[in-house]
């Protein structure tokens, strides 16, 4: 099992068009987030490349993209892709 598989599974099973989560809620699923998740908005990017960003692969393979990110409040909102 890859580190971010629990996030993928959580999003898939939610059945919701929009899922808002705190960084702490994500960490409860996958373990501690790396420092870069707290420091760089790019960590949360939906870009197709590079394919090495395993966190992005998790939410995109669940059919979601990041719609909104707040670094100050440490929250992220995923939205179902159409």
Instruction: Kindly give the parts of the chain with pLDDT less than 50.
Output: none
Cis amide prior to 75 (ω within 30 degrees): no
CA dihedral 33, 38, 39, 44 (to 10 degrees): 80
Report the pLDDT value the prediction gives residue 41, as an integer from 0 to 100: 95
pLDDT at 53: 87
pLDDT at 40: 96
Kindly list the distances between the CA atom of residue 78 and the CA atoms of 11, 15, 46, 56, in Å, as whole numbers in the listed order.
Answer: 8, 12, 10, 11
Residue 66 in tokens: 């990041």
């Amino acid at each position: 099992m890859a580190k971010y598989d629990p996030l993928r599974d959580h999003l898939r099973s939610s059945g919701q068009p929009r899922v808002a989560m705190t960084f702490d809620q994500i960490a409860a699923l996958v373990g501690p987030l790396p420092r870069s998740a707290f420091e760089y908005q790019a960590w949360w990017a939906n870009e197709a490349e590079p394919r090495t960003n395993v966190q992005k692969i998790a939410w995109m393979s669940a059919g979601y993209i990041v719609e909104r990110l707040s670094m100050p409040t440490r929250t992220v909102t995923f939205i179902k892709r159409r």
